[in-house]
Chains A and B, each alone.
Chain A
Amino acid sequence: QKEVEQNSGPLSVPEGAIASLNCTYSDRGSQSFFWYRQYSGKSPELIMFIYSNGDKEDGRFTAQLNKASQYVSLLIRDSQPSDSATYLCAVLGGTASKLTFGTGTRLQVTL
């Protein structure tokens, strides 16, 4: 079982819709969760982080964490073509002292 799992996609959503990206993790002791956005050929950029169960909102982005079910989600409201990228989930804590990344979900926002 992979430590951090994401559906590779592509996830295709129309412009203006809500994009929902999901991530599950295997280490129940994980405590910190991060979402990075990576455009093709570019380096990852941190866009959200969450430590507590529940929702955390920042502009059009909402991170959701459910430690009991071991999943973390990223919602993007009013999706724009510029949101088209690969979104990497990263997890820290538990048995891992360093960030563990998922393989990412490719999001395509269509006009």
Chain B
Amino acid sequence: SQTIHQWPATLVQPVGSPLSLECTVEGTSNPNLYWYRQAAGRGLQLLFYSVGIGQISSEVPQNLSASRPQDRQFILSSKKLLLSDSGFYLCAWSLYPGLGEKLFFGSGTQLSVL
């Protein structure tokens, strides 16, 4: 069966510091991979998605970036964090993109930027 691992679970970072969140998927090949952010009182916001190695699509302009160095690895990064980057970050995967696409989420990272 497929599993998704995301770490760390919680992170407290000062403003201006760098960020690296990692996500890996096991038990499947060539998944679609996603990074979402959930801010308090707001819905899930799609940040990036990837349909393959090195293929990244950005949904929202911001100071974050994403990379997919391996088929089942997805990394979210920032060179300098802002206060507004605080939130619950979720990695997700799916197969069979299209109208039947179902997302499966990792356990999430609660990021607090102080």
Contacts and interface: CB of A to CB of B under 8 A. Distances in A.
B58 to A, nearest CB: 12
| Centre residue among A4, A32, A99 by max chain B CB count within 10 A | A99
B43 A101 contact: yes
Interface in B50-108: 59, 90, 99-108
Interface string A4-25: 1000100000000000000000
Interface in A39-91: 41-46, 49, 51, 88, 90
Contact of B44 (A31, A32, A42, A44): A44
**Interface extent on B, as a size class?**
10 to 19
B42 A103 contact: yes
Nearest to A4: B43
A101 B90 CA distance: 14
B101 A92 contact: yes
A51 B103 contact: no
B46 A99 contact: yes
Given A32-B100, A43-B106, A43-B107, A103 B90 contact: no
Contacts of A92: 99, 101
Contacts of A41: 110
Given A43-B90, A43-B106, A99 B101 contact: yes
A104 B90 CA distance: 16
24 contacts: A32-B100, A34-B102, A41-B110, A42-B107, A42-B108, A43-B90, A43-B107, A43-B108, A44-B44, A44-B90, A46-B102, A46-B103, A51-B99, A51-B100, A88-B43, A88-B44, A90-B44, A92-B101, A93-B99, A98-B46, A98-B49, A99-B103, A102-B43, A104-B43
Interface of B: 41-44, 46, 49, 59, 90, 99-108, 110
